[in-house]
Amino acid sequence: MSDDRVAVTLQQQEAFRFLVQYPESSTPQLITDEPAPLGTGQGPSPAQLLVTALGNCLSDSLVFALGKFHQPNDGIRTEAVGHLGRNADNLLRIVGVDVDLHLGHPAAAFQRLDRILDQFERFCTVSQSVVAALPIQLRVFDSEGKQLKG
């Protein structure tokens, strides 16, 4: 991956199963597949990859923001759920994504946490690229379960 592009090559292996390769990086290849009845579920589906990308990017952005302020940025756990629904043409779509980020420490262990939580989303390339078309409900909790954002 370079600073101005992300390259991906998909080669069909069988039906809905594809071998995904990242030719401009050392990233390991990946198998994707649709769940039954279309595919055989031998890898994540495109919908799972989209939800994964949102949860992962928001997690990375939080790690980055915490580190920028020299705060503990370990032990983060993320739960992301994509909600499926039908559009006006009765076609299946992801109609929203809920992302819960759980910090690895109690809120009291952080300094300037309000400032960090106010700005970390802006660093997330993926969520900021799709939020105009896909609602994302974000919540942040500390390690004790206290809701800090959302």
Residues 6+ positions from 138 with CB-CB distance below 8 Å: 58, 99, 101, 121, 127, 149, 150
- Write down the pLDDT at residue 1: 56
3 state SS for 26-64: CCCCEEECCCCCCCCCCCCCHHHHHHHHHHHHHHHHHHH
User: pTM higher than 0.95, yes or no?
Assistant: no
Q: Residues near 45 by Cβ (< 8 Å), separated by ≥ 6?
A: 32, 33, 34, 35, 39
* CA distance from start to end of the chain: 32
Report pLDDT digits (tens) over 45-89. 999 999 999 999 999 999 999 999 999 999 999 999 999 999 999
Residues 35-49, mean pLDDT to the nearest whole number: 96
Domains within the chain, CATH numbers bracketed: 1-44 (no CATH), 46-149 (3.30.300.20)
Per-residue confidence at 3, pLDDT binned at 50, 70, 90? Answer: confident
